[in-house]
Structure 1
């Protein structure tokens, strides 16, 4: 009986260790294009992000993005999101993002802050165990959108 309990305990510990090895931290960056309805044209955006993947379906991510510059106006975004992923093929997953973001608008004469819900959708591709790429569309605030291409390193 003790051998069976010991074997069951070792099997449980081994399966826990195997499942615990899957979660990982990641960092990355992206380049994109921001469009704001009340402003002319699209502007280049640049972002950095970092997160923690709990399993293949669930991650938490924080990010910072320079949203673009229109004449005397600059927009920056700071965000915290939950990401839900669904694998659709080998190394390919679609995902949805839901989170909170704080937008800062800097202009001649001052700056304003606005906190809103953030949502987005994207597709990711796992090139190697450590490197993945993604294409994502985000809506940081009503009347604005960003589309970006990024790369992440998982460790």
Structure 2
């Protein structure tokens, strides 16, 4: 009798702990700091702007899944004037990605995860000089990766913190731009 009761209690505890990391669909939204690294003719610089991300995925098992998302990586602007001439430059970046995910539950509420996949990046640069403007738009498909942690504070809702590297957004002979983002957000599991 005691062995049966102990077996039932252990089985129930295992099933309840696995339910927080069970298979199924999810959606989420994050906000964070997007870092843009610009390299032109040997010179480089970094800018940090606010980025946002919307995504959805499906956990095939408690450890493996697939995720797709859209990240708006912010807008970088700069202007200069010498009293006669006024010049300005705007740069915008975004990414669409699909990735495989791997999660490691450390407790019923807390897990760490990693992702790797492909991202279709798009960057647009607009330059203005004394009222005249010109723009350039480029797309680049490259590998992406990310790592993060998830804490489930309610039955279907969790808070997520993650780092993602989207690789090169613009890749030209004269220079390139790279983007990465550190963000936090909420995830809802169906």
User: When the two structures are superposed, what TM-score results if normalisation uses the length of structure 2?
Assistant: 0.67
Name which of 147, 163, 179 aligns with 1:137.
163
Name which of 50, 54, 64 aligns with 1:44.
50
CA distance in 2, matches of 1:28, 1:94: 16
CA distance in 2, matches of 1:23, 1:122: 18
**1:110-125 residue pairs with structure 2 within 5 A?**
110-125=136-151
Residue segments in structure 1 that go unaligned for 5+ positions in a row: 1-18
In structure 1, what is the equivalent of residue 101 of structure 2? Answer: 83
Flag as ranges the 4+ runs of structure 1 deviating above 4 A.
none
Alignment of 1:147 with 2:165, yes or no, is no
Contact in 1 for aligned 2:73/2:179 (Cα 8 Å): no
CA distance in 1, matches of 2:164, 2:152: 21
Q: State the Cα deviation string for residues 44-92 of structure 1 (Å, max 9, x = none).
A: 0011001111121112110001001001110001000111000112311
In structure 2, what is the equivalent of residue 4 of structure 1? Answer: none
In structure 1, what is the equivalent of residue 67 of structure 2? Answer: 61
Residue segments in structure 2 that go unaligned for 5+ positions in a row: 1-18, 39-44, 78-89, 127-134, 169-177
1:89 counterpart SS class: coil
Q: Which has the larger radius of gyration?
A: 2
CA distance in 1, matches of 2:99, 2:167: 14
User: When the two structures are superposed, what TM-score results if normalisation uses the length of structure 1?
Assistant: 0.81
Please tell me the root mean square deviation across aligned C-alpha atoms, in Å: 1.6
CA distance in 1, matches of 2:142, 2:91: 19
Worse-superposed segment, 124-133 or 59-68: 124-133
CA distance in 2, matches of 1:33, 1:88: 27
